[in-house]
Amino acid sequence: MRKLGSIFSILTVSAGLVAALGCGPPPKPVALVQTPPPPPPPAQVQVARPVDPQLVDLTGTPGSTAVLAGAPGDVTVRVRVEARAMPRSQRPPLNLGLVIDTSGSMAGQAIDDARAAAIALVGKLEPGDRLAVVVFHSRTELLVPSLIISKDNVADIQARLGAMQATGTTDMGNGLAVGLQQVEANYRQDGLNRVVLLGDGVPNDPSALAGLAQRAASEKITLTMLGLGVEYDETLMASLAQQTGGTFRYLDDSTKVAQAFEQEITRMTRVVARGIMLRLQAGPGVVIKSVSGQPGQTGTALAFGLGDLSENERRDLVVRLAAPARKAGATVELLDAQVSFEDMAAGAGALERHTFVGARAGDASDVAAGADDEVMRLAARAALAEAVLAAIATARAGQVPEARGILTRAAKEAAAALKLRDDPELRAKLAELPALEQSLPTLAPPVEVAQPTAADTTGPTGSGKRGRSKSPQPVATPQPEPPATAPSIIKGASSDASETLSNPRPTSN
């Protein structure tokens, strides 16, 4: 009975639900909304990367296509980085830090010419370029904080430059530091970043300068060093430029400052390759003994910066190698070279070039027949230029006899090279060595001569005994008096040697 009652209750509830549904209003129809399909993804637009304009070449040429078989020996290789002309007139924006010596030694015509040259430089910049101007004397002043050149601010900048005056000592270290900081803080990835320093004296404290040059080199900021007159330290300024792949130039007259500024702006506006880095890898068993313009570089793998290269310019480096003995007829793998740089002609970004240099082991006649006269002339000029810079630096350290010895050995080597192949440029530089040698003593710091005391000659008065006498001193060989033009001779020789080793040269030469 209980089971039947449960069944009855279920049927009753079901019937009630049916009745209730039947009596209520009919359900409203539900409209079916069709969701439209999602739109197709936008077409991928491929932005074409600028094509490598192929304006930079890297080549390696051995001094001879053959090396002497059966014995280890030295081999000379020329590595050349060359840039052709740009096919367009558009130029990269400039980020320039101009650092000017306004110490007391610049008073008179020098500061007048520097002031006029700086004002003219501003007029050659274009809207969008950046310029900072720093002056240094007893202290350093940021005369023009780095700003973007526009038509509205040129007159104000030139007015500030027109107020430059010469006074005080030579705070070159802080001057370069502030100029570098201004360029660093506004670094242009799409442009040229450079510091140009004009100085005519020895810095108060040179200790920080080498570190500043290293910092600039690591950030691919080039230093151009312009030495004015005859009082500055040519060895120091040339070294600072060399560390960054920049240029050092001697200006014997302040009227040439404007031309130097203009040439620097022109070169910057025509740069094809920025921040060139050269990597050298010696072949099996080969050791790199030296690289021209890169003192102290030796080993089996080297890397160093070469700065920027403008159109129709080239950089030649003489690489001296020590090669192991090879059997006759064997191929000698001498050197792999690679340059990396930023393309500034077409905006193609980071680019590379590679080259390989090899030779074949043979006898002496093979070596002579395969000689490249142009490479060997370049090597002889580079060797003489290195000797000139070494002699000047050695004389500045007070070692004049050693400096003269460097020039004597260099003269013999240059004369021997001229017997093998004539070279008017090398012959002219060789003829200048005697005047340079006579000028070297003017670089040595003064030596205090001790005055003899009575004890050095005789005993106490009335004693009748002689005192101790000094041992006889060797008599120095009389040397010719330095010429009156010695400072100019030294500055010119240093500038010429630096140009031979480090500065880019026109491709037409």
Which pTM does this prediction carry?
0.82
Can you tell me whether residue 33 is helix, strand or coil?
A: coil
- Strand partners of residue 331: 360
Residue 449 clears pLDDT 90, i.e. is over it: no
Domain ranges in the chain are 56-87+272-364, 94-269, 372-441+485-509
Residue 469 clears pLDDT 80, i.e. is over it: no
Question: Residue 10 — very low, low, confident or very high, per pLDDT cuts 50/70/90?
Answer: very low
Q: State the Cα–Cα distance between residues 406 and 60, nearest whole angstrom.
A: 30
- Strand partners of residue 144: 133
- Per CATH, the architecture of 56-87+272-364 is what? Sandwich (2.60)
* Record: fold of 94-269: Rossmann fold (3.40.50)
C-alpha to C-alpha distances, 246 to 199, 238, 308, 508, nearest whole angstrom: 16, 9, 8, 21
Q: What is the pLDDT of residue 498?
A: 95
Fold equal for 56-87+272-364 and 94-269? no
Lowest mean pLDDT among 85-99, 147-161, 193-207, 453-467: 453-467
**CB-CB neighbours of 243 under 10 Å:** 22
Q: What is the pLDDT of residue 90?
A: 72
Residue 166 near residue 102, CB atoms below 8 Å? yes
**CB-CB neighbours of 479 under 10 Å:** 13
Residue 60 near residue 355, CB atoms below 8 Å? yes
Segment 394-419 mean pLDDT: 97
Cβ-proximal residues to 410 (8 Å cutoff; 6+ apart), any chain: 383, 384, 387, 388, 391, 433
Q: State the Cα–Cα distance between residues 232 and 308, nearest whole angstrom.
A: 26
328-365 pLDDT, tens digit each: 999 999 999 999 999 998 889 999 999 999 999 999 99
> Which of residues 334 and 467 earns the better pLDDT score?
334
Residue 142 near residue 178, CB atoms below 8 Å? yes
Cα 103-492-373 angle, rounded to 5 deg? 145
Q: State the Cα–Cα distance between residues 440 and 387, nearest whole angstrom.
A: 13
Residue 8 clears pLDDT 60, i.e. is over it: no
266-317 pLDDT, tens digit each: 999 999 999 999 999 999 999 999 999 999 999 999 999 999 999 999 999 9
CA 8 to chain centroid? 106
Residue 89 clears pLDDT 80, i.e. is over it: no
Q: State the Cα–Cα distance between residues 430 and 410, nearest whole angstrom.
A: 9
Q: State the Cα–Cα distance between residues 134 and 145, nearest whole angstrom.
A: 8
- Strand partners of residue 273: 309, 343
Length of the chain: 509
Residue 25 clears pLDDT 90, i.e. is over it: no
